[in-house]
Structure 1
Amino acid sequence: MSLRKEMFIAIFLGLLLGGGAAVLFAQIPKNLLGSNIAPTDQSTTVPPTPSPTPISPDSLTLDIVFPKQQELIEEDEINVSGKTKPGATVIATSGIDEMTAAADETGTFSIPITVNQGANELLIVSLSGEDKTERVVVVNYITEEL
């Protein structure tokens, strides 16, 4: 037999076996489930859209003014600043530093914090009584001049 005939026979047998296996696998789920199972109810009900909960004026908010998300900084110490509830305790944490300050009577705060070279994930938390709000800001400390 020539090599060409052997290759043709091998391809033909492969297609035949592959097709037979495909038909067999397509029939297995039908045979296992059986045809006497009643179809289930496929109708769905849409739940009502919840209305937004109004925010009370006394709720704890936390707005970060500086640094902005993904900001490039050129100093290893920055002042995290923002606004929250007046008198709230604000905690700023970097990978190497954690500092605490109290917001003033207008809710403004500024906290000096040290960062590592490269990307730094800063966690800023505002606490007032039982309320807690937090934000994560990523900054990138670079030592090269742009």
Structure 2
Amino acid sequence: MTQNRCVIYIKCRWYRTWTKFIQIWALYSSFFTPLEFGFFRGLPENLFILDIVGQVAFLLDIILHFFLAYRDSQTYRMVCKPTSIAIRYLKSNFLIDLLGCMPWDMIYKVLLSSPTYASFPQVYTYSNNSFNNEELVG
């Protein structure tokens, strides 16, 4: 089998290290993101930068998957043809990965600042026998 310089093999040392990094980052993100949306009203600058770094890492992981060789389930041979790899990824996990790396917090803030959705994210709470109108993001 000839080696293609544009293909990443799953047994490469640096790719296995990258996979561990992405797994740790995904674990961190899965715990921190709900806290961010549930309890914080805007992130402090250092956490905001950390969030951006995470989104860039996930985006880079999506790009790497377009070059990641895979084992054919029928022949058990490694598929190293770049077009086959890209088509397989587009048909499998690409959309889920792309939606997972979207900056939803920024999209939400942009929607809040637009005049059309300015009054959308409001919560009505009941206190002192009257309804209070409180905005979610301030």
Is TM > 0.5 for Structure 1 vs Structure 2?
A: no
TM-score (norm: length of structure 1): 0.20
Report the TM-score, using the length of structure 2 for normalisation: 0.21
Bigger strand fraction: 1
Greater C-alpha radius of gyration: 1
